[in-house]
A and B are shown apart, each in its own frame.
Chain A
Amino acid sequence: MTLTRPNETSNKPANGVVLSARNVTVEYGGERPTRAVRNVSLDLRRGEVLGIAGESGCGKSTLAFALTRLLRPPATMIQGSVFFHGLDGSDPVDILGLDAVSLRHFRWDKISMVFQSAMNSLNPVTSLRRQFSDIFEAHVPEMSSDERDERSRSLLEMVGIDPKRLKGYPHELSGGMRQRVGIAMALALNPEIVVMDEPTTALDVVVQRDILDEINGLRKELGFSIIFITHDLPMLVEISDRLIVMYAGEIVERAPSEWVGQSPAHPYTLALQDSCPDLLGERKELRGIAGVPPDLRERIEGCSFRPRCPYAFGPCATVHPELIPPFAVPVEFTTVRDMSATVSVEEKSSLRQSPVITPTAGDWRVACHLHARELNPEGPPHELAGATRSGSGATTSQESGYNLASPPGSAGEGQ
């Protein structure tokens, strides 16, 4: 087995990365702080659509705000770094280190955002024209008022809204139209990254389809990168290049979308996939995921998914599993569909699919304890997960930060 250390563990991101985040941890303050994002690292590659999926409340929006430095009190990022690598080849921008003025100039110009609540993110009492102008006045002061209007009109047209609407007010628009206006505003300054937080969730399927096509077309035309957030995994599989599955503030799986679509590696991903209707209309039997996500104010021992996991066994309660590189586990072992303990070994091997997609550097899969057992039924579970330098679980693994999982037999090699 050749081991390549995935890029997202090193502090130097691979070429072609626009945004790289390391060890981001966010807490909502209070008597008992909610740790909504836990030690998340990711790279966004230039021109790609990176999807983030997960149930409501798993911290998707919080992560997006952390990446764009938009956290509002009581949220604070208690750990982590976010760097932006501009197209102009200049030094990486330390987003968290920007002073107030540079931050103001940086915002929207380089990274813009389509907000989850399009309804509430437009100023209700001023015209769209005024709101577009505000953006241009702040960033391109030399633009004349006519030029601003001209540009605003063409932006509206681009997202399929009658430019005459420019004089109108937000309340005169339908939900879908507001969402489109939100997208138009996000593209106003030709940013390199657009973060889209559930831009289509509140809309009906047809409009949703339209907007998704719109977004895809614009991306091809303008060449920005997208972080696309939604709880609809099948949709994400379809539209994104790579995707991240989050659970309880953590990344539980990260891989090329097709890969996740075909063979989900983590029990949670599987459950999520089964609980969503297919965007193409092919309705599966819908099963909500039984149980509720853990309380993020509590310290979580072992695997956060354990109470809801049909595969849970011994070590899950105490040992915190961590992400590992894909090559650490043969691909055919990573899919979780056939790992039920009740299926015999012979059945399993007949069920196993051979890998269709070849993983590339930077793709990670999960190191759920299940895989450890599959690989080495006799050995101690943490051998594979490598998460446990001590048996006492949670404390170490949570606070040790972003730790490279050491695949079996590689403990010394990787250093």
Chain B
Amino acid sequence: MSLPLSPAAASPDGDASSRASLRGWRVLRRSPRMFVGLCIVFFFVLVALYRTFFIHNGNALSHQVLKGPSAHDWLGTTQLGQNVLLQLIASAGPTLLVGFAAGLLATILAVVIGIGGAFLGGRSDDLLNLVTNVVLVIPAVPLIIVVSGFLKSGGIGPIIVIIAFTSWAGVSRVLRGITLTMRNRDFISASKLSGERTWRIIIVELLPNTVAFVISGFIFTVIFAILTQAGLAFLGLGDVNALTWGNMLYWAEVDGALEVHAWWWFLPPGLCIALLGTGLALINFGLDEVLNPRLRSQRAFRPKTSVFDDTPVAEVP
């Protein structure tokens, strides 16, 4: 992935209307991309919920070993006779959980440090900004691999925390920039003058106006967390017996799915990760479009030779 928000979205003229324009269905109508993205994510959430209630053991073994897709086992079986489709469904929940939990934690950090720092200003902002920039340039994934390799603890809890603590900085920086622009706006200055308390201003005035950027940053971290978790699982770090898409890939690799041409075994989990990531990314593109009207389609107006609309007009008789 590249970066949280396209910098375009951070353009100051875009965010003024973000609060109003984020409401309701109009957003979806304006951005088909966002609609598709939401559908995909919603689908996976449903799948995750489904397993919570209906699948008790996604790893159940059987004698149907390494069978390709068939009417009975839609996505075939593994080396140990596990049903790939069942595994896939059962893995959706934990994968989403890691993603959303790490995303949430990182977003909270980013909001507190980015918005808080920018709003307080002065020394504390300088310091927080420095910390943010340092964290941003220290390579996160190697650090995550090293730390989780050393921790050796199973379970997804520590992984969530590690991912969150290494991935907040990018979002924090974007939020800081936006807050700084907004801090100088009239309505904030006015509430400062009228002596409202700092935290109140942040919560009542600032947060609602940055909400689209916060959401966008959250989604970015979720994607990052899901990809990173998959990587860690693929390395066998963390609990290899948990069911996540990353672990499915790990077992497929270890048990030689490639050598035996069991494509139905390793393709689906990766594609699921990519599809979920695409859904999340599409939501973010949609947010970009809502925040920055210039990104919306204006094809109808675009002549080939010029940037601008040059269509000569109809003469009046």
Contact = CB atoms under 8 A, between A and B. Distances in A.
Interface of A: 22-23, 29, 69-81, 96-97, 100, 103, 401-402
A226 to B, nearest CB: 24
Nearest to A29: B301
A70 B308 contact: yes
Contacts of A77: 313
A104 to B, nearest CB: 9
Contacts of B312: 96-97
13 contacts: A70-B308, A72-B308, A72-B309, A73-B302, A74-B301, A76-B309, A78-B313, A79-B316, A80-B313, A81-B315, A96-B313, A100-B310, A103-B310
Contact of B308 (A23, A71, A78, A79): A71
B311 A78 contact: no
Interface in B283-317: 298, 301-303, 305-306, 308-316
B301 A73 contact: yes
Interface of B: 298, 301-303, 305-306, 308-316
Contacts, number: 42
A29 to B, nearest CB: 8
A81 B303 CA distance: 20
Majority SS at the chain A contact face: mixed
A78 B310 contact: no
A179 to B, nearest CB: 22
Given A69-B310, A73-B302, A100-B305, 8 more contacts: A73-B308, A74-B309, A76-B311, A76-B313, A80-B313, A81-B315, A81-B316, A96-B312
Given A73-B301, A74-B298, A74-B301, A401 B309 contact: no
A23 B316 contact: yes
A187 to B, nearest CB: 23
Contacts of A100: 303, 305-306, 310
A74 B302 CA distance: 10
For the complex of A and B, the 6 pairs showing the least CB-CB separation, nearest first, are A73-B301, A100-B305, A77-B313, A96-B312, A73-B309, A72-B308
A50 to B, nearest CB: 22
Contacts of A22: 316
A401 B316 contact: yes
A21 to B, nearest CB: 12
Contact of B309 (A75, A79, A96, A97): A75
A409 B308 CA distance: 48
